[in-house]
């Protein structure tokens, strides 16, 4: 294995309808119009020396190393800033050019430390490479004059250093922060010799920097360098794999030394990220080898007993015998399982196969239940498929973007950077969110409309926007007539035109001024290609499904589905939540969203697997817990989920878990759910196995093993072992064989194989005979369901109400540096940015309660209470407070309710009536949490150690 080095063409190869042909060093080359001479030369294999250029950035033309000669033109133009033109005759090398380049390089080197042999970037430094390439053999100027060799080093960022003495002032970092990331944290201060890079006059940690790593990636020297490279040395080989955090699905090169990850470098050919990254995927991989990893299987008879380490064979045999005992005693349906959106498609497929084939029921569910299940239901009903309509690149063609219930800069940062690029290029923006999220106003971006609606009123707001479209004649009539069910449309149009759906009538519900809604609706309908991007602020409501349908209605009514720059686009949460849904993780669906009552689909599986499959939908997670409390549901196999922390109404969840007789938890860590478990199977991280993840664009990306599983088995191997012990054989030698089985059982995956994924890089389903290379955009000429279906979206307020006792509404969300329950990110330096969950509260609400910034406050709801620190913030609106749920000890879900979406049971995390008051101690639940953390996680000394 070698270190993968992608070609750097210096400046981007442009996309254009016309081409130009020129001659470079005697060779004819044709490139799209607008491409630079440097990139044209690179495309024919000639690398012109360069320092300030790199092809992820626009040309800058400062270093003068890339000079060329053009016949008929005077001087030595920079090839990075000179466009290729028809008929040009260019020379990239001759003695005059070489002499000038050596002169330029001599100046750089004369102000650069000459410790190449001991430099952390030795062998991976463009300055070093270029010095060799231009043939620099001597430096005539000494270090006696003014220089930068004593410039200080900034070590403040936990992941990278800024060693100013090595800076060549090429400005690639500044431009990367602006163009690639869109944060504008860096500037070039001063001019000429005095010019230096500044992080806003402070150190990196104190600046606006979000630690995305784009500047580190762009830096041609060791000035910006990963601390892991400094500690471990330059990597030796690399493997392309996929980030295991969010649904953007960024591709990375895991750069390795043996089985140690030295760094994760965003992969330029990754179709979801095109070489960009965020702080999590780029830097927060240390959890995979954290000392908290549990790598030995363990069992115990009761949760109050200490864990006993055992062999894999013993743990699997014990789990299998418990499941058999419980089914014999309480019936076939008394057991079930939960698949993981953190695990691969292949692993998820095996867990649902085990439940359907070995347990003999459909009691399988997934964490998508608690996040995007309304997406599946709502988009399936209206458009005919349970997934987003576009690829990420589509946003490059959007003229108008509506972001609702999503905070992309924190939740989906790499896609947010792409969206921000489009916004800086002139696309218009509407943000519908109770909070003033960063996107509302950030460098060079300002939303045309921020609609700060009250949590729980998405449907009323979208109905009001649709009302404007219908009553002001803004319907895309030809589109609707041609592509949608007309009777359904007319029915919907009559409903939506009712006065109760007008912006004026809705204002009292949403809190958004009617004039603002009218103006936003007009902009959406008339602003060109209009795209909707949404997140859990849409789905995690009692009307989550209705909101998804309302967005589909609005997009169809304005002709914004089935074309570039448009669509209804769920920003999926976890890395493989799309895949977990695709793989048949729901109790009513087989892979590819075929209903379990579909005889033909079921028969296909029955004949392949050789077992009968129940035609009855199984239990959803909340039903499993309810039945456990009732005493009829007794055992659960949970792979890679922590429902005790992530699911709402913690006390109810833990009551359900405590009532069961056997819980098998398969995870990297002894998580909150494991406190109630009887068998612990060590999980494997994404670095330890092969497989695939499917991102929010339906893109199937390969996950590749770079190190051996620390616990000995990959998750898919453990599931197969359990299934074999239960008497339902699973014999695979590699996850590629599991994908072959998925492909043969799932029409939308029929054309997917590891060989094709390796050849193409990734594939977006549907991938089959009609679309052998996948489907970037859905519903192009017709909707998957045939005619687009407008659904009636009556606004029904949540039953959760504010009142005298609980006058505020709590809504929840994520922040950039932590991820979900924090199991991974809390075990990395990312905690430096977010050590604890805090409560954001508007100054008015804070002042009226005597609460000051940093005070400990009690947060109480009808479900329970917790204590956390207050952060007084103008981002909030009066009456609404906000927190995250990244730290188990906070117990954010102790206070959320068990209200849920009418169609899918997706919990209503986003609306909880609460009261806030000052306090000086943790809540009762929190005090108990700390006790249980000790009492329910004890591990007995190994038997041989005791002897
Ligand atoms: S790490 Fe990212 S945000 Fe921070 S300065 Fe570099 S490019 Fe800007
Ligand atoms: S820090 Fe690196 S990228 Fe930035 S100006 Fe200096 S050498 Fe160039
Ligand atoms: S945006 Fe998401 S997938 Fe990409 S690096 Fe960040 S966490 Fe990973
Ligand atoms: S690479 Fe062209 S001027 Fe620097």
Please give the full DSSP string across 129-174, using - where no structure is assigned.
HHHHHTT-----S-SSSS-STTPPEE--SSSEEEEGGG-----HHH
As a whole-number percent, the residues of the chain with pLDDT over 70 amount to 99
Distance 18 CA to ligand 4 centre (A): 25
- Give me 708's structure tokens: 């051996």
The confidence score (pLDDT) of residue 944 equals 56
Q: Are 586 and 595 in contact (CB under 8 A)?
A: no
548-560, pLDDT tens digit by residue?
999 999 999 999 9
The confidence score (pLDDT) of residue 947 equals 40
Q: Which residue has the higher pLDDT, 382 or 386?
A: 382
281 lines ligand 3 (CB under 6 A): yes
C-alpha to C-alpha distances, 262 to 68, 224, 288, nearest whole angstrom? 38, 16, 13
**Residue 154 binned pLDDT confidence (cut-offs 50, 70, 90):** very high
Apex CA 777: angle with CA 773 and CA 783, to 5°? Answer: 115
What is the C-alpha separation between 347 and 366, in angstroms, rounded? Answer: 13
- Phi/psi zone of residue 377: left (φ > 0), alpha (ψ -120 to 50 degrees), beta? alpha
Q: What is the mean pLDDT of residues 569-578?
A: 89
Distance 281 CA to ligand 3 centre (A): 5
Biggest distance spanned by C-alpha atoms of the chain:
92
- Mutate which of 37, 58, 65 for ligand 4? The one with the most ligand atoms within 8 Å of its CB, which is 65
- Any idea what DSSP says for residue 526? H
Q: Beta 662-667 vs 679-682: how paired, if at all?
A: parallel
- Mutate which of 247, 280, 282, 419 for ligand 3? The one with the most ligand atoms within 8 Å of its CB, which is 280
279 lines ligand 3 (CB under 6 A): no
Atom of ligand 1 nearest to the CA of 176: 7
What is the C-alpha separation between 640 and 339, in angstroms, rounded? Answer: 7
Nearest to 212 by CA among 276, 285, 288, 121: 276
218 lines ligand 2 (CB under 6 A): yes
First and final C-alpha spacing in the chain: 45
Residue 725: pLDDT above 90? yes
Q: Whose CA is nearest to atom 3 of ligand 4?
A: 61
206-222, pLDDT tens digit by residue?
999 999 999 999 999 99
Q: Are 531 and 400 in contact (CB under 8 A)?
A: yes
- Output the CA torsion sign for 398, 403, 408, 409: positive
Q: Whose CA is nearest to atom 7 of ligand 1?
A: 177
Q: Are 552 and 427 in contact (CB under 8 A)?
A: no
168 lines ligand 2 (CB under 6 A): yes
- Output the CA torsion sign for 704, 710, 714, 717: positive
Apex CA 585: angle with CA 584 and CA 589, to 5°? Answer: 45
Residue with tokens 């009536």: 913
Q: Whose CA is nearest to atom 1 of ligand 4?
A: 50
DSSP string, 114-125: --GGGSTTTTS-
- Mutate which of 49, 55, 66, 168 for ligand 4? The one with the most ligand atoms within 8 Å of its CB, which is 66
- Any idea what DSSP says for residue 921? S
Atom of ligand 4 nearest to the CA of 62: 3
223 lines ligand 2 (CB under 6 A): yes
Strands (E), 640-689: 662-667, 679-682
173 lines ligand 2 (CB under 6 A): yes
Q: What is the mean pLDDT of residues 60-79?
A: 96
CB-CB neighbours of 342 under 10 Å: 30
298-332, pLDDT tens digit by residue?
999 999 999 999 999 999 999 999 999 999 999 99
Helix (H, G, I), strand (E, B) or coil at 913: strand
485-530, pLDDT tens digit by residue?
999 999 999 999 999 999 999 999 999 999 999 999 999 999 999 9
Distance 678 CA to ligand 3 centre (A): 34
**Residue 373 binned pLDDT confidence (cut-offs 50, 70, 90):** confident
Q: What is the mean pLDDT of residues 4-33?
A: 95
DSSP string, 536-568: HHHHSSTTHHHHHHHHHHHHHHTT-SSSTT-EE
What is the C-alpha separation between 543 and 462, in angstroms, rounded? Answer: 12
Q: What is the mean pLDDT of residues 85-92?
A: 98
* Mean pLDDT for the chain overall: 94
Q: Whose CA is nearest to atom 5 of ligand 3?
A: 281
Q: Are 36 and 83 in contact (CB under 8 A)?
A: yes
- Output the CA torsion sign for 368, 372, 374, 376: negative
The confidence score (pLDDT) of residue 141 equals 66
Q: Whose CA is nearest to atom 2 of ligand 1?
A: 212
As a whole-number percent, the residues of the chain with pLDDT over 90 amount to 82
Helix (H) or strand (E) holding 844: helix 843-848
Q: Which residue has the higher pLDDT, 711 or 112?
A: 711
Q: What is the mean pLDDT of residues 54-79?
A: 96
Distance 199 CA to ligand 1 centre (A): 9
- Mutate which of 50, 77, 105 for ligand 4? The one with the most ligand atoms within 8 Å of its CB, which is 50
What is the C-alpha separation between 678 and 299, in angstroms, rounded? Answer: 6
- Any idea what DSSP says for residue 272? T
- Any idea what DSSP says for residue 574? B
219 lines ligand 2 (CB under 6 A): yes
State the ligand closest to the CA atom of 108: 2
Distance 215 CA to ligand 1 centre (A): 5
The confidence score (pLDDT) of residue 909 equals 82
C-alpha to C-alpha distances, 726 to 184, 721, 723, nearest whole angstrom? 57, 9, 5
Residue with tokens 């599931």: 719
- Which residues on adjacent β-strands are paired with residue 264? 254
State the ligand closest to the CA atom of 112: 2
Distance 207 CA to ligand 1 centre (A): 10
169 lines ligand 4 (CB under 6 A): no
Helix (H, G, I), strand (E, B) or coil at 659: helix
What is the C-alpha separation between 265 and 371, in angstroms, rounded? Answer: 29
The confidence score (pLDDT) of residue 438 equals 94
Helix (H, G, I), strand (E, B) or coil at 349: helix
What is the C-alpha separation between 226 and 282, in angstroms, rounded? Answer: 10
C-alpha to C-alpha distances, 393 to 397, 564, 667, 793, 936, nearest whole angstrom? 8, 9, 34, 30, 48
Q: Whose CA is nearest to atom 4 of ligand 2?
A: 173
- Mutate which of 411, 413, 576 for ligand 3? The one with the most ligand atoms within 8 Å of its CB, which is 413
Distance 153 CA to ligand 2 centre (A): 13
Q: Beta 428-432 vs 449-451: how paired, if at all?
A: parallel
The confidence score (pLDDT) of residue 110 equals 83
- Number of helices and strands (H, E) in the chain? 31, 37
**What b/e string do you get for 407-432 counting C-beta neighbours within 10 Å, with b at 16 or more?**
bbbbbbbbbbbbbbbbbeeebbbbbb
Nearest to 704 by CA among 684, 686, 720: 686
Strands (E), 196-250: 196-198, 224-226, 237-242
Strands (E), 619-661: 635-639
Distance 254 CA to ligand 4 centre (A): 29
- Mutate which of 242, 250, 819 for ligand 3? The one with the most ligand atoms within 8 Å of its CB, which is 250
The confidence score (pLDDT) of residue 151 equals 84
Q: Are 184 and 444 in contact (CB under 8 A)?
A: yes
Q: Whose CA is nearest to atom 4 of ligand 3?
A: 250
What is the C-alpha separation between 198 and 411, in angstroms, rounded? Answer: 27
Apex CA 818: angle with CA 817 and CA 823, to 5°? Answer: 145
Q: Whose CA is nearest to atom 3 of ligand 1?
A: 209
Distance 418 CA to ligand 2 centre (A): 23
The confidence score (pLDDT) of residue 143 equals 63
C-alpha to C-alpha distances, 99 to 65, 104, 450, 655, 664, nearest whole angstrom? 11, 9, 57, 78, 70
What is the C-alpha separation between 772 and 750, in angstroms, rounded? Answer: 9
- Give me 839's structure tokens: 């409560």
Nearest to 539 by CA among 373, 401, 695: 373
Residue 946: pLDDT above 50? no
What is the C-alpha separation between 736 and 464, in angstroms, rounded? Answer: 49
34 burial type by CB count under 10 A (0-12 exposed, 13-18 middle, 19+ buried): middle
Distance 892 CA to ligand 3 centre (A): 24
What is the C-alpha separation between 800 and 861, in angstroms, rounded? Answer: 10
**Residue 672 binned pLDDT confidence (cut-offs 50, 70, 90):** very high
Q: Are 814 and 410 in contact (CB under 8 A)?
A: yes
- Mutate which of 113, 169, 194, 204 for ligand 2? The one with the most ligand atoms within 8 Å of its CB, which is 169
State the ligand closest to the CA atom of 210: 1
Q: Whose CA is nearest to atom 1 of ligand 3?
A: 414
State the ligand closest to the CA atom of 218: 2
Q: Whose CA is nearest to atom 6 of ligand 2?
A: 167
Atom of ligand 4 nearest to the CA of 61: 3
Q: Which residue has the higher pLDDT, 899 or 248?
A: 248
- Any idea what DSSP says for residue 196? E
Distance 172 CA to ligand 2 centre (A): 6
List pocket residues of ligand 1, CB cut-off 6 Å: 176-177, 181, 183, 185-186, 209-215
What is the C-alpha separation between 829 and 641, in angstroms, rounded? Answer: 23
67 lines ligand 4 (CB under 6 A): no
- Mutate which of 412, 416, 419, 762 for ligand 3? The one with the most ligand atoms within 8 Å of its CB, which is 412
Select the highest-mean-pLDDT range: 115-129, 742-756, 893-907. 742-756
């Amino acid at each position: 294995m070698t270190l993968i080095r992608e070609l750097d063409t210096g400046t981007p190869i442009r996309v254009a309808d016309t081409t130009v042909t020129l001659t470079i060093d005697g060779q004819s080359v044709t490139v799209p119009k607008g491409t630079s001479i440097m990139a044209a030369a690179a495309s024919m294999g000639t690398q012109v020396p360069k320092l300030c250029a790199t092809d992820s950035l626009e040309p800058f033309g400062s270093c003068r190393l890339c000079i060329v000669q053009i016949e008929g033109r005077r001087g030595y133009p920079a090839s990075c800033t000179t466009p290729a033109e028809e008929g040009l005759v260019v020379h990239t090398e001759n003695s005059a050019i070489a002499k000038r380049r050596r002169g330029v390089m001599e100046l750089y080197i004369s102000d650069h430390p000459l410790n190449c042999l001991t430099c952390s970037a030795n062998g991976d430094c463009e300055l070093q490479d270029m010095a060799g390439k231009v043939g620099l053999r001597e430096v005539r100027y000494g270090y006696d004059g003014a220089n930068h060799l004593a410039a200080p080093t900034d070590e403040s960022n936990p992941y990278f250093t800024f060693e100013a003495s090595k800076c060549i002032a090429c400005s690639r970092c500044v431009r990367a922060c602006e163009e690639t990331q869109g944060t504008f944290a860096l500037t070039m201060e001063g001019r000429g010799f005095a010019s230096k890079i500044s992080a806003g006059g402070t150190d990196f940690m104190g600046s606006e920097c979000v630690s995305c790593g784009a500047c580190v990636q762009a830096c041609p020297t060791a000035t910006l360098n990963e601390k892991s490279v400094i500690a471990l040395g330059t990597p030796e080989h690399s493997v392309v794999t996929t980030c295991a955090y969010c649904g953007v699905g960024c591709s990375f090169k895991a750069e390795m030394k043996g089985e140690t990850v030295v760094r994760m470098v965003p992969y330029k050919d990754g179709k979801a990220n095109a070489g960009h990254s965020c702080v999590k995927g780029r830097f927060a991989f240390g959890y995979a080898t954290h000392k908290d990893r549990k790598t030995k299987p363990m069992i115990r008879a009761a949760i109050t007993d200490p864990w006993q380490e055992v062999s894999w064979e013993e743990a699997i045999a014990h789990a299998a015998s418990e499941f058999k005992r419980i089914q014999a005693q309480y019936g076939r349906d008394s057991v079930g399982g939960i698949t993981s959106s953190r695990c691969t498609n292949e692993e998820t497929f095996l867990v649902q196969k085990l439940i359907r084939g070995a347990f003999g029921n459909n009691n399988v569910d997934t964490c998508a239940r608690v996040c995007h299940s309304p997406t599946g239901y709502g988009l399936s009903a209206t458009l005919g498929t349970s997934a987003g309509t576009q690829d990420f690149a589509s946003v490059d063609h959007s003229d108008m973007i509506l972001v609702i219930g999503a905070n992309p800069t924190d939740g989906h940062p790499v896609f947010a950077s792409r969206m921000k690029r489009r916004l800086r290029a002139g696309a218009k923006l509407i943000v519908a969110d109770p909070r003033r999220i960063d996107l509302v106003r950030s460098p060079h971006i300002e939303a045309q409309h921020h609609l700060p609606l009250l949590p729980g009123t998405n449907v009323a707001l979208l109905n009001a926007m649709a009302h404007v479209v219908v009553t002001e004649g803004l319907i895309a009539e030809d589109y609707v007539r041609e592509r949608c069910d007309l009777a359904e449309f007319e029915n919907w149009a009559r409903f939506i035109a009712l006065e109760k759906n007008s912006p004026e009538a809705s204002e009292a519900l949403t809190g958004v001024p009617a004039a603002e809604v009218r103006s936003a609706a007009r902009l959406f309908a008339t602003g060109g290609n209009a795209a909707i991007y949404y997140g859990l602020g849409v789905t995690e409501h009692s009307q989550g499904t209705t909101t998804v349908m309302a967005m589909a209605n609005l997009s169809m009514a304005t002709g914004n589905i089935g074309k570039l720059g448009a669509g209804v686009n769920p920003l999926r949460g976890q890395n493989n939540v799309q895949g977990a849904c695709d793989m048949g993780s729901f109790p009513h669906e087989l892979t590819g969203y075929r209903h379990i009552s579909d005889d033909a689909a079921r028969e296909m599986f029955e004949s392949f697997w050789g077992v009968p499959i129940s035609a009855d939908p199984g239990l959803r997670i909340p039903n499993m817990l309810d039945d456990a409390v009732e005493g009829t549901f007794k055992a659960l196999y949970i792979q890679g989920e922590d429902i005790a922390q992530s699911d709402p109404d913690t006390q109810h969840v833990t009551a359900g878990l405590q009532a069961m007789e056997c819980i098998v938890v398969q995870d990297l860590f002894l998580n909150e759910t494991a406190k109630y478990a009887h068998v612990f199977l060590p999980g494997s991280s994404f670095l330890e196995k092969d497989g695939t993840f499917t991102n929010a664009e339906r893109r199937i990306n390969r996950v590749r093993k770079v190190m051996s599983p620390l616990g000995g088995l990959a998750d898919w191997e453990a599931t197969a072992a359990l299934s074999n012990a239960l008497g339902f054989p699973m014999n695979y030698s590699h996850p590629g064989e599991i994908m072959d089985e998925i492909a043969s059982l799932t029409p939308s995956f029929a054309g997917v194989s590891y060989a094709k994924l390796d050849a193409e890089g990734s594939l977006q389903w549907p991938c089959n005979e009609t679309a052998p290379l996948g489907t970037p955009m859905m519903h192009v000429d017709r909707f998957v369901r045939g005619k687009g279906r407008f659904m009636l979206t009556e606004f029904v307020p949540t039953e959760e109400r504010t009142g005298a006792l609980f006058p505020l509404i709590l809504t929840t969300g994520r922040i950039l540096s932590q991820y979900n329950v924090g199991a991974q990110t809390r075990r990395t330096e990312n905690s430096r940015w977010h050590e604890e969950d805090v409560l954001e509260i508007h100054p008015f609400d804070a002042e009226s309660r005597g609460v000051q910034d940093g005070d400990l406050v009690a947060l109480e709801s009808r479900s329970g209470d917790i204590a956390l620190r207050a952060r007084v913030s103008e981002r909030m609106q009066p009456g609404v407070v906000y927190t995250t749920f990244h730290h188990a000890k906070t117990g954010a879900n102790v206070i959320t309710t068990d209200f849920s979406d009418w169609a899918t049971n997706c919990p209503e995390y986003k609306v909880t009536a609460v009261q806030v008051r000052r306090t000086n101690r943790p809540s009762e639940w929190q005090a108990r949490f700390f006790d249980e953390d000790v009492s329910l996680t004890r591990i007995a000394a190994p038997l041989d150690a005791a002897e």
